[in-house]
Amino acid sequence: MAQALRLGIAGLGTVGVGVVKIIRRHAELLTARTGQSIEIVAVSARDPNKARGVNLSSYMWETDPVALAKRDDIDVFIELMGGENGPAKTSVEAALASGKDVVTANKALLAIHGQELAEQAEAAGRAVRFEAAVAGGIPVIKSLTEGLAGNQISRVMGVMNGTCNYILTRMQSQELGYNALFEECAKLGYLEADPNLDVGGIDAAHKLALLSSIAFGTKPNFDGIQIEGIQHISLDDIHQAADMGYRIKLLGVAQRTPRGLEQRMQPCLVPSDSPIGQLEGGTNMVVIEGDAVDQIVLRGPGAGEGPTASAVMGDVCDLARGLRIPTFGRAATSLEEAQPAQTGTPAPYYLRLALLDKPGALAKVAAILGDAGVSIDRMRQYAHSESTAPVLIVTHKTTRSTLDYALNGLRDTEAVAEEPVALRIEQV
């Protein structure tokens, strides 16, 4: 049998411990599948004395992850610490510079520095693999780079942050407001160390940047993503969207258009009976559209010890089999600069307005929308007890810039008492 594939693991938190457990539990299975035994040589984390629920005594301990990355007795460096800079970046660079392959679950690192790391890996003849970085246990990177390699991809979209989907579906089912659910997620340990990464849409946008790069052959372009979080979604929006046959989801969309590459991560209304509309809790879903395959839908756990470690091990097994696919599915030096679309694809929008309950208020709103070129498809006024009336409007398709012009007009009129809420309606 070939010599063992020797691993160094930096980061022994949720994911790192999950990886150690799989390697210990499935040693024989992994060898049978890859033809090589897979062995952990050394590990690193901040606190050597922390109880981690797994026996680490047979592995060497490195205090410094960069020293671990440079060890002569490892073949693959597994980075599971997190963070777009700091030790994650320096240790991955050190690993590549000393001839190691790299496996990471770190979407922030790759969304920001993926291009330079991919170039460094290719120059060194090594691989950077990151299945666990996008949609946890769902093998979406493998699907895009390998299974769908024969397709021209036109659109990739999905729900890629489990925490936000958990909050939005609990708002719907439990009648709890955003703030209460944010607190619940904090208690359950669902939030990233910086919660704005989750609820601000940034974590999901990191993931979208990586999918988009593979799908469209462009350098990861996180800065080109239009990002909006879920913090301003109210229970009223959840109820009223449901009333009109929609669910609110933090939806990522990357699509090729004649105007350039469109990338957005924002709360959207999707039909309640669509697969994405039906997605509950922390589950993720990614939809990929290609010219040959038409559409495929991938669904599964987007986070957690087992699912994320499962994805890491898929990458490790590929390396054990000698499979070294370019990081973003083609030579890094051949990736083009993304050309962001200056205007988005037109879509219908949901508008929620608090209207002063006075004669002529509705007429003013209709005139502002009409003057801006925004056409009303449906409208409802809800029962109210105070001086403002909640009015919900669904527009016909319009561009975001046309809508923004109308929203400025609505903000300027006294007929509208509060900041208008505008959410895109996406056909999925």
Residue numbers annotated as active site:
207
Contact between residue 70 and residue 94 where contact means Cβ atoms under 8 Å apart: yes
Both tokens of 304, joined, read: 């957690």
How many residues are there in the chain?
428
Phi first, then psi: give them for residue 246, nearest 5 degrees.
Answer: -125, 160
**Is residue 81 at the binding interface for ligand NAP, with CB under 6 A as the rule?**
yes
Decide which of ligand HSE, ligand NAP, none touches 163; Cβ closer than 5 to 8 Å per partner kind. ligand HSE
- Binding-site member from 8, 11, 282, 290 for ligand NAP (CB under 6 A): 11
Cα separation, 89 vs 85, in Å, equals 5
When the beta carbons of 108 and 415 are compared against ligand NAP, the nearer one is 108
Site for ligand HSE in 35-74 (CB under 6 A): none
Cα separation, 293 vs 153, in Å, equals 9
**Is residue 161 at the binding interface for ligand HSE, with CB under 6 A as the rule?**
yes
**Is residue 79 at the binding interface for ligand HSE, with CB under 6 A as the rule?**
no
With H, G, I as helix, E, B as strand and everything else as coil, classify residue 149: coil
With H, G, I as helix, E, B as strand and everything else as coil, classify residue 52: coil
**Is residue 233 at the binding interface for ligand HSE, with CB under 6 A as the rule?**
no
When the beta carbons of 161 and 240 are compared against ligand HSE, the nearer one is 161
Q: Closest approach of Cβ 300 to ligand HSE, in Å?
A: 12
Q: Which of 8-16, 76-84, 156-164, 241-249 is the region at the interface with ligand HSE (rule: CB under 6 A)?
A: 156-164
Site for ligand NAP in 275-304 (CB under 6 A): 303-304
User: Going by C-beta distance under 8 Å and a sequence separation of 6 or more, which residues neighbour residue 356?
Assistant: 387, 388, 389, 414, 415, 416, 417
Cα separation, 141 vs 358, in Å, equals 55
User: Going by C-beta distance under 8 Å and a sequence separation of 6 or more, which residues neighbour residue 53?
Assistant: 17
CA 209 to each of CA 122, 204, 297, 412: distance values in angstroms, whole numbers, following the listed order: 20, 9, 19, 36
**Is residue 283 at the binding interface for ligand HSE, with CB under 6 A as the rule?**
no
**Is residue 192 at the binding interface for ligand HSE, with CB under 6 A as the rule?**
yes
- Binding-site member from 224, 302, 409, 420 for ligand HSE (CB under 6 A): 302
Binding site for ligand NAP (CB under 6 A): 10-16, 44-47, 50, 65, 80-82, 87, 105-106, 132-133, 136, 303-304, 308
Binding site for ligand HSE (CB under 6 A): 136, 161-163, 192, 198, 203, 302-303
